[in-house]
Amino acid sequence: MRQRYEWLETEWSKMREQSLCREWQTVESLAEHGGTWIVVGGKKLLNMSSNNYLGLAHDPQIMAAGEKAARQWGAGGTASRLVLGNYPLYDELEQRLARWKQREEALVFANGYQANTGVLAALAGRGDVVFSDRLNHASIVDGIVLSRAEHVRYRHNDWEHLAFLMEKHQGTKRKWIVTDSVFSMDGDKAPLLELIKLRERYGAFLMVDEAHAGGVRGERGQGLCHELGIASQVDVLMGTFSKAFGVYGAYVCADQVVIRHLRSKARSLIYSTALPPGVVGSTIAALTQIEADEWRRQALQHNAQLFRRLLAEKGFAVTSDDTQIVPITLGENERALQFSQKLWERGVAAVAIRPPTVPDGTARIRFTVMATHQPEELVWAVEQLTAVRDECAGGM
């Protein structure tokens, strides 16, 4: 049997040589502060790799809302929404999302990957061209591939390069621009104001993935597009419930004609079982919290600024961005793994990110700050980082 899979053994050996093998750690318990501290392998660790940006995943009201919905409607969705898997909870959530995002309608998906692949494959097709930032999330890339549209990638955040490429495709039937608003591995923001101008100049459509900005940017957490005042000019606004919401799932908001089309054409929606009622109930409660709790966004912003400043004071190269995602680029895969392991030994859980998630030669530690981190915890984390850097002389 082993000989039958010899090709997989060979591939695994190559991956191991390149420090590209993946293993996961099991979180055994949440030690303190609702996930800010965790226990892995019997060791207590400060969690610096969570997308639970606002600390809502362990909010008692959100958990209680999920339990109530599950008791009323059951543990599972039981069918796709088009086959008697649609309950009043889903309609309530979508109506709330549409009002929150100030769009005509919203549509909930099982997760962000399914939202991006389903939307792009349904709205773009042969004869169209999709212009995509080189550092867009993998789900966007896969959605473009599934659409069978021409895939044109522009240099990261280089709107002038995008303009050059769009000029070359003037005669294309339909043109789509797709971008993350906050990039998940670099923590920088897309040049959305310039993309809106290109949308108008070339008669293109624009889709923005707000996964890492939803809940944390804008006056009521609607995202970076709302913060910049351009949301009404974006054709499709996408976001997730698995980051700032602390739950699970995803959504798109758009004009009614777009959502109507997606209900009948988005294969990832049509052929998937509906989200469990408990998840939807928790999400509705999380949306209520996000709209009301400005203090969480303020705390997150303060912590992100503090962490960046502390790193800069210690001589680390950090970008001037103000997001909660703070990468320290190390370059080689093995170096990033060793750095992460040494942090682990010192009590900081910060995971090494390697290709293909990031480009070759840019392996890094991706730190994420939470609203529930205490300032003294961030000061301590930077002290551990500095000590590890000094241990790994020449490793930065």
Contacts of 319 (CB under 8 A, 6+ apart): 186, 187, 188
At residue 81, the 3 state secondary structure works out as: coil
Half-sphere exposure of 372 (CA within 13 A, CB side): 21
**For 60-292, which CATH class?**
alpha beta
Where in the chain does DSSP place strands (E)?
A: 27-32, 37-40, 43-47, 105-109, 129-133, 150-154, 175-180, 205-209, 236-240, 250-254, 325-331, 348-349, 352-353, 363-368
Whether a cis peptide bond, with omega within 30° of 0, leads into 359 is: no
**In the prediction, which pLDDT does 24 show?**
82
Active site residues: 184, 212, 243
178-188 in b/e burial notation, b at 16+ Cβ within 10 A? bbbbbbbbbbb
**pLDDT at residue 394, rounded to an integer:** 53
41: left (phi over 0), alpha (psi -120 to 50) or beta: left
User: Could you read off the pLDDT of 117-162 as tens digits, one per residue?
Assistant: 999 999 999 999 999 999 999 999 999 999 999 999 999 999 999 9
Q: Quote the CA–CA distance of 59 and 80 in Å, as a whole number.
A: 29
pLDDT by position in tens, the chain (length 396): 568 888 888 898 998 888 888 888 888 777 566 789 999 888 899 999 999 999 999 999 999 999 999 999 999 999 999 999 999 999 999 999 999 999 999 999 999 999 999 999 999 999 999 999 999 999 999 999 999 999 999 999 999 999 999 999 988 889 999 999 999 999 999 999 999 999 999 999 999 999 999 999 999 999 999 999 999 999 999 999 999 999 999 999 999 999 999 999 999 999 999 999 999 999 999 999 999 999 999 999 999 999 999 999 999 989 888 999 999 999 889 898 999 999 999 999 999 998 998 989 999 999 999 999 999 999 999 999 999 998 886 544
Domain regions of the chain by residue span: 25-54+294-394, 60-292
Alpha carbons 103 and 222: distance in angstroms, whole number: 11
Fold classification of 25-54+294-394 is Aspartate Aminotransferase, domain 1 (3.90.1150)
CA distances (Å), origin 229, targets 189, 214, 219, 222, 288? 15, 14, 11, 11, 22
pLDDT of 393: 64
Contacts of 194-200 with CB under 8 Å at 24 or more apart are 194/159, 195/159, 195/162, 196/230, 196/233, 196/234, 198/159, 198/162, 198/163, 198/166, 199/233, 200/233
In single-letter form, the type of residue at position 92 comes to E
Distance (Å, whole) CA 351 – CA 219: 31
